[in-house]
């Protein structure tokens, strides 16, 4: 039997999944790690935590499955996008990674526009300068930690750091690297013009591959540590969203998915490179050769619900966890008891500033309309509705850009909830479907490994054969109308509060 390994370095934890060649998951293990938020709007993680979670995950999967490691034909990596990992000349980590949802780089975004011109940045990188992308983070370290920057010999993305630890190669691939804002996205290569304009040396960056290409082999030291066979191939893999796209079969135009993880993303594949000059959504290389993607990102989606779980629902959640019950199931059941609109309570999900459709590092979360009659279920439902309104607002941008969405799939932790899937179907006004495997990014990474290993001929054929729809939620247009009244107000609230968010920041 042949097997493939998918490793997904998420924000809350790393999931390692062993699949057989028919994409059936054999064993899956997740190991979690902390997020450090030393200042309001900052977010960092320890690259060594990711590596330890990978080592533990691989060891646990190999032990539980008992497979012969020689039968594992390839490894695919998927991971949280945009995070900055800096290594010295010996490959040692220089500082904690500044991750995707960090919002400290407002000034650096202005610097980028001054250094290169906003038009040129859009023309080459396919996106206006964004706080969340890696380029602004690099400039921040250069400005604020110059001694440390001087020691930097390698700049990598989170999953590419794991590649380095497994294979010793400094490499990346187009889907994740296009979220660094250092690429010519149309040509799928590093852009000399952007790098020179920003003063970032090309020698610091990894070698560029397509997602399905073989980038190296597991070396002896990593093999001894993990239990893998030395020589096992590691393919490019993909950012977690482009990898989830493969895992949910989103490989051709017209198909799209919504994922609700720590962040939430709406992601559509396109044959042409569609841009939004206002930067409300991102344009990146897809992990399918010759295709691009339009993708939105709500920074604090599942994170908002997690925040509510940790700080508002605490005693019940601890009790649930002790009984082995998923706390989110208790929360969503409570939310379902409240009518649409949460009895006039609207939540804006800007706990970590926002990217889509408002590229704004300074906005923050809001409960609007809070009344003494509201109870915890209202808070939970309004958080879920606010996150969903944000997805709906992004889908409106996709439609405005002429990006077709004929089929909407769903994945991520939030996608496990039938109640949440129905809410999204009602808002979008189209069906929202799950796929049989809920392994998203890990499955996509494993399929990419299968193409690299020659087990599958190409991604489209592999997805046609391996990815199957499971449950579909059909839209209820009466519910759509009821949500629409709140949605109009939800959209107005950002505009109304825009200046107040800036004033709050400046106190």
Ligand X SMILES: O=C(CO)[C@@H](O)[C@H](O)COP(=O)(O)O
Ligand Y SMILES: Nc1ncnc2c1ncn2[C@@H]1O[C@H](COP(=O)(O)OP(=O)(O)O)[C@@H](O)[C@H]1O
Report, as residue numbers or ranges, the catalytic residues: 240
Q: Which does 329 bind (CB under 5 to 8 A by kind): ligand X, ligand Y, none?
A: ligand Y
List of residues 6+ apart from 47 with CB closer than 8 A: 85, 93, 96, 97, 158, 161
Shortest separation between residue 151's beta carbon and ligand X, angstroms: 27
Report whether 427 belongs to an annotated binding site.
no
* Helices of type H across 180-257: 192-198, 220-226, 240-247
Tokens encoding 355: 């990217």
Rounded to whole angstroms, how far apart are CA atoms 213 and 76? Answer: 10
Rounded to whole angstroms, how far apart are CA atoms 180 and 8? Answer: 19
Check residue 248 for interaction with ligand X (CB under 6 A): no
Rounded to whole angstroms, how far apart are CA atoms 235 and 174? Answer: 12
Cβ distance to ligand Y smaller for residue 392 or 420: 420
Any idea of the CA torsion for 253, 259, 265, 267, to the nearest 10 degrees?
Answer: 0
- 413-442 positions binding ligand Y, by CB under 6 A: 413-414, 416-417, 420
Q: Which does 297 bind (CB under 5 to 8 A by kind): ligand X, ligand Y, none?
A: ligand X
Choices 121-129, 239-247, 333-341, 383-391 (CB under 6 A): range interacting with ligand X: 239-247
Choices 78-86, 141-149, 310-318, 479-487 (CB under 6 A): range interacting with ligand X: 78-86
* Helices of type H across 358-476: 376-400, 418-428, 440-452, 459-466
Residue closest to ligand Y when measured from CB atoms: 413
Rounded to whole angstroms, how far apart are CA atoms 425 and 432? Answer: 5
Shortest separation between residue 299's beta carbon and ligand X, angstroms: 8
* Helices of type H across 145-285: 146-150, 158-167, 174-177, 192-198, 220-226, 240-247
Rg (C-alpha) for the chain, rounded Å, is: 22
Check residue 80 for interaction with ligand X (CB under 6 A): yes
Rounded to whole angstroms, how far apart are CA atoms 94 and 102? Answer: 18
HEC profile of 263-277: CEEEEEEECCCCCCC
Q: Which does 332 bind (CB under 5 to 8 A by kind): ligand Y, ligand X, none?
A: ligand Y
Cβ distance to ligand Y smaller for residue 124 or 348: 348
Evaluate whether 79 touches 8 at the Cβ level (below 8 Å). yes
Cβ distance to ligand Y smaller for residue 420 or 486: 420
Residue among 287, 306, 382, 388 that touches ligand Y (CB under 6 A): 306
Report the sign of the C-alpha dihedral through residues 82, 86, 91, 96, in that order: negative
Q: Which does 327 bind (CB under 5 to 8 A by kind): ligand X, ligand Y, none?
A: none
Choices 206-214, 314-322, 411-419, 455-463 (CB under 6 A): range interacting with ligand Y: 411-419
Check residue 297 for interaction with ligand X (CB under 6 A): yes
Choices 159-167, 216-224, 256-264, 391-399 (CB under 6 A): range interacting with ligand X: 256-264
Return the H-helix or E-strand segment holding 319.
helix 314-322
Count of residues in contact with ligand X, rule CB under 6 A: 16
Residue among 76, 249, 302, 359 that touches ligand Y (CB under 6 A): 302
Orientation of helix 418-428 relative to helix 376-400, angle to 10°? 40
Check residue 263 for interaction with ligand X (CB under 6 A): yes
Rounded to whole angstroms, how far apart are CA atoms 257 and 260? Answer: 10
Report whether 81 belongs to an annotated binding site.
yes
Cβ distance to ligand Y smaller for residue 141 or 338: 338
- 315-374 positions binding ligand Y, by CB under 6 A: 326, 328-329, 332
Check residue 247 for interaction with ligand Y (CB under 6 A): no
Count of residues in contact with ligand Y, rule CB under 6 A: 20
Cα distances (angstroms) measured from residue 42 to each of 39, 79, 127: 5, 19, 22
Rounded to whole angstroms, how far apart are CA atoms 427 and 424? Answer: 5
- What mask of x and - would describe binding to ligand Y in positions 5 to 34, judged by CB under 6 A? -----xxxx---------------------
The residue assigned the tokens 């594992």 is 72
Check residue 131 for interaction with ligand X (CB under 6 A): no
Q: Which does 413 bind (CB under 5 to 8 A by kind): ligand X, ligand Y, none?
A: ligand Y
278 prior amide bond cis, ω within 30: no
Check residue 162 for interaction with ligand X (CB under 6 A): no
Rounded to whole angstroms, how far apart are CA atoms 55 and 39? Answer: 30
Nearest to 166 by CA among 153, 180, 156, 176: 156
Q: Which does 100 bind (CB under 5 to 8 A by kind): ligand X, ligand Y, none?
A: ligand X
Choices 47-55, 172-180, 406-414, 461-469 (CB under 6 A): range interacting with ligand Y: 406-414
Q: Which does 414 bind (CB under 5 to 8 A by kind): ligand X, ligand Y, none?
A: ligand Y
Cβ distance to ligand Y smaller for residue 110 or 329: 329
The DSSP secondary-structure symbol of 39 reads S
What are 216's strand-pairing partners? 234
Q: Which does 416 bind (CB under 5 to 8 A by kind): ligand X, ligand Y, none?
A: ligand Y
Residues lying near ligand X in the complex (CB under 6 A): 10-11, 80-82, 100, 132, 179, 239-241, 261-263, 265, 297
Annotated binding site for substrate, which residues?
Answer: 81-82
Residues lying near ligand Y in the complex (CB under 6 A): 10-13, 260-262, 302, 305-306, 326, 328-329, 332, 412-414, 416-417, 420
Annotated binding site, which residues?
Answer: 81-82
């Amino acid at each position: 039997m042949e097997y493939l390994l998918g490793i997904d370095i998420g924000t809350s934890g790393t999931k390692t999944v062993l699949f057989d060649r028919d994409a059936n998951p054999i064993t899956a293990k997740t190991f979690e790690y902390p997020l450090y938020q030393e200042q309001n709007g900052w977010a960092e993680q320890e690259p060594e935590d990711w590596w330890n979670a990978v080592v533990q995950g691989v060891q646990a999967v190999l032990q539980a499955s008992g497979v012969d490691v020689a039968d594992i034909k390839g490894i695919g990596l998927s991971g949280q996008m945009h995070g900055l990992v800096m290594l010295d000349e010996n490959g040692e980590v220089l500082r904690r990674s500044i991750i995707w949802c960090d919002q400290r780089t407002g000034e650096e975004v202005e610097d980028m526009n001054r250094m290169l011109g906003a038009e040129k940045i859009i023309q080459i990188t396919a996106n206006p300068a964004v706080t969340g992308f890696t380029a602004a983070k690099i400039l921040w370290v250069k400005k604020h930690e110059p001694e440390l920057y001087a020691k930097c010999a390698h700049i990598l993305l989170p999953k590419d750091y794991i590649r380095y630890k497994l294979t010793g190669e400094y490499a990346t691939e187009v889907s994740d690297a296009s979220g660094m804002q250092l690429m010519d996205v149309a040509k799928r290569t590093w852009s000399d013009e952007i790098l020179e304009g920003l003063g970032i040396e090309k020698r610091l960056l990894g070698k560029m591959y397509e997602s399905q290409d073989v980038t190296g082999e597991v070396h002896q030291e990593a093999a001894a540590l993990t239990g893998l066979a030395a020589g096992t191939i590691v393919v490019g893999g993909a950012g977690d969203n482009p990898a989830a796209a493969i895992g949910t079969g989103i490989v051709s135009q017209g198909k799209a998915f919504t994922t609700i993880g720590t962040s939430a993303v709406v992601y559509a594949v396109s044959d042409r490179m569609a841009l939004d000059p206002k930067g409300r959504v991102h344009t990146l290389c897809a992990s399918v050769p010759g295709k691009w993607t339009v993708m939105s990102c709500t920074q604090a989606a599942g994170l908002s619900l997690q925040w509510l779980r940790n700080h508002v629902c605490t005693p019940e959640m601890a009790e649930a966890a002790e009984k082995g019950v998923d706390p989110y199931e208790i929360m969503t059941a409570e939310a379902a008891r409240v009518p649409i609109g949460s009895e006039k309570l609207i939540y804006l999900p800007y706990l970590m500033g926002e990217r889509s459709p408002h590229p704004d590092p300074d906005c923050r979360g809001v409960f609007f309309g809070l009344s003494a009659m509201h109870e915890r279920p209202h808070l939970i439902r309004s958080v879920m509705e606010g996150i969903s309104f944000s997805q709906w607002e992004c889908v409106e941008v996709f439609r405005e850009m002429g990006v077709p969405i004929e089929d909407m799939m769903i994945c991520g932790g939030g996608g496990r909830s039938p109640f949440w899937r129905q809410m999204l179907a009602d808002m979008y006004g189209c069906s929202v479907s799950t796929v049989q495997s809920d392994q998203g990014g890990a499955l996509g990474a494993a399929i990419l490994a299968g193409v690299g290993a020659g087990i599958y001929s190409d991604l489209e054929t592999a997805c046609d054969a391996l990815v199957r729809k499971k449950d579909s939620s059909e839209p209820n247009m009466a519910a759509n109308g009821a949500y629409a009244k709140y949605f109009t107000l939800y959209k107005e609230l950002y505009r109304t509060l825009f200046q107040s968010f800036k004033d709050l920041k400046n106190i």
